[in-house]
């Protein structure tokens, strides 16, 4: 699809969206939602641009057609590397979350998991999913890859929760499909997606089998409603003449709480139904792909933030100070370290039994562990360079006011020759990325997106092969285990 066709395709959906206590009748043109939709539209627009086609498109292994890479099943380590490069490019163009990564990562995790599920059980989930992928690719759909459940009491398994709906579950199995009830939380780009693609959120035991479910459903299906999430400074988008205050007026991201109120899923769209022993595999593979993604998208936004900090230094008249130069070097070093991790886990990827390619899980988790730390330092340095005025500036309406405007023009002047409005705009961009609406897709999401820091540490412990490393040390030190008493 073109960007225009994507936008028009959303108009055809009968979405049930609530925000700030009211139902939104036209999400496409709502001033709070439209910037996030523009970010998704950019992924369609760039796929049409000749200079970006190598990164933004791929050849489908299912149909042989040229498709948007966001709908692709990775066929090589080269594909995995191009994915990261594409995500960095999209981050550079939007300085926000562009929302299609979760769907792409879900495609690849479910594709390989259903294959291995069928190999063991003789089921036909993989064939169903292949047909679904052809549908997604042929129509160039944006898919909300939905894994995270509300979870309730974290000390209890899904089946032991006081309220059984705190993890999405199967409430009825029928001859023609299943009925599901529950919710998916923190769903990136849900309101901008054509479909929801559901996965379990944790590894499960037999008692939890009703929660081991994967399926696809249109976003406007009967029984689905979305509650749009709040972001810092979000109502600025609804204020008159607030473009300066927005920092990033055109692009943004969003999350939503997606409710499934006894939703019917036909059999052909069910990809896991109580196969609890495969829930962990699907979770682990999706998490790995998504942790790889952060080595691209967060780096692209980081590029914009570093550029904004450098401009702020120029506009403040401080660009020649050695400590400013050193801070920009440190920001660049941290950002490129994150990118290196994303490329490394891609280059070390391996072919699955289903023949699509999976990243190196250990390196992907190392990538995301770094993401939980380094963007915070990049943001801190950007705020340091910008100065306190970033969070004390008057509103755009005061700047445009005939009484107060001249004072702001005079007293918020920075370096000689720099326009006051331009200085205000770059400072607001830094505020937007580090503290405002874009912080959801950069700062805080760096901590909790694709799993909290502890989730990566668990995987690093599991994948780190400490016993193998101990063996290496024993050989070098010439250890004789027979002499040990235990």
Q: Which residues are catalytic?
A: 97, 101, 188, 255, 290, 294, 297, 445
Question: What residues contact 23, with CB distance under 8 A and at least 6 apart?
Answer: 16, 17
Bridge partner list, 170: 180
| Distance from C-alpha of 228 to C-alpha of 100, rounded to nearest angstrom | 17
Q: Pairing mode, if any, of strands 255-266 and 213-218? A: unpaired
Question: What residues contact 435, with CB distance under 8 A and at least 6 apart?
Answer: 232, 233, 391, 443
Do residues 337 and 407 lie in contact, with contact meaning Cβ atoms separated by under 8 Å?
no
Query: What is the phi/psi pair of residue 255, to 5°?
Result: -130, 160
Length of the chain: 486
Query: Helix (H) and strand (E) counts for the chain?
Result: 17, 14
Q: What is the DSSP letter of 394?
A: P
3-state secondary structure of 477: helix
Q: How many CB atoms lie within 10 A of CB 279?
A: 26
First-to-last alpha carbon distance for the chain, in angstroms, is 65
3-state secondary structure of 217: strand
Q: Between the CA atoms of 54, 56, 59 and 63, what dihedral angle is there, to the nearest 10 degrees?
A: -160
């Amino acid at each position: 699809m073109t960007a225009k066709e994507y936008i028009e395709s959303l108009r055809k959906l009968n979405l049930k969206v609530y925000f700030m206590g009211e139902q939104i009748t036209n999400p496409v043109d709502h001033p709070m939602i439209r910037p996030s939709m523009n970010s998704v539209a950019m992924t369609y627009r760039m796929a049409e641009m000749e200079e970006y086609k190598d990164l933004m498109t791929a050849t489908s292994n299912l149909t042989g057609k040229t498709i948007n890479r966001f709908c692709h099943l990775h066929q090589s380590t080269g594909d995995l590397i191009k994915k990261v490069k594409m995500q960095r490019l999209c981050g550079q163009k939007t300085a926000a979350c562009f929302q299609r990564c979760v769907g792409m990562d879900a495609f690849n995790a479910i594709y390989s998991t259903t294959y291995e599920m069928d190999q063991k059980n003789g089921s036909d989930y993989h064939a169903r999913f292949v047909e679904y992928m052809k549908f997604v690719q042929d129509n160039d759909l944006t898919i909300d890859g939905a894994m995270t459940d509300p979870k309730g009491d974290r000390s209890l398994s899904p089946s032991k929760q006081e309220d059984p709906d705190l993890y999405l579950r199967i409430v009825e199995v029928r001859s023609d499909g299943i009925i599901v009830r529950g919710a998916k939380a923190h769903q990136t780009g849900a309101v901008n997606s054509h479909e929801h693609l559901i996965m379990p959120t944790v590894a499960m035991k037999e008692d939890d089998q009703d929660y081991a479910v994967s399926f696809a459903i249109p976003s406007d299906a009967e029984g689905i409603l979305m509650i749009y999430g709040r972001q810092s400074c979000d109502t600025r988008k609804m204020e008159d003449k607030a473009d300066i205050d927005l920092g990033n007026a055109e692009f943004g991201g969003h999350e939503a709480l997606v409710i499934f109120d006894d939703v019917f899923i036909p059999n052909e769209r069910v990809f896991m139904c109580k196969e609890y022993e495969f829930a962990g595999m699907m979770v682990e593979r999706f998490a790995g792909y998504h942790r790889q993604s952060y080595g691209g998208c967060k780096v692209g936004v980081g590029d914009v933030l570093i550029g904004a900090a450098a401009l702020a230094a120029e506009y403040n008249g401080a660009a020649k100070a050695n400590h400013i130069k050193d801070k920009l070097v440190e920001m660049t070093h941290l950002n490129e370290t994150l990118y290196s991790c994303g490329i490394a886990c891609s280059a070390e990827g391996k072919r699955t039994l289903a023949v699509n390619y999976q990243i190196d899980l250990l390196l992907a988790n190392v990538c995301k562990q770094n993401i939980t730390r380094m963007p915070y330092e990049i943001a801190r340095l950007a705020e340091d360079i910008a100065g306190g005025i970033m969070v004390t500036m008057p509103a755009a309406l005061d700047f445009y006011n005939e009484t107060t405007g001249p004072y702001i023009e005079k007293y918020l002047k920075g370096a000689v020759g720099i326009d006051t409005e331009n200085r205000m705009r770059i400072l607001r961009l830094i505020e937007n990325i580090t503290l405002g609406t874009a912080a959801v897709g950069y700062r805080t999401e760096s901590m909790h997106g694709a799993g909290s820091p502890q989730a990566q540490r668990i995987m690093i412990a599991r994948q780190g092969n400490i016993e193998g490393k101990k063996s290496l040390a024993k050989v070098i030190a010439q250890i004789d285990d027979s002499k040990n008493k235990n």
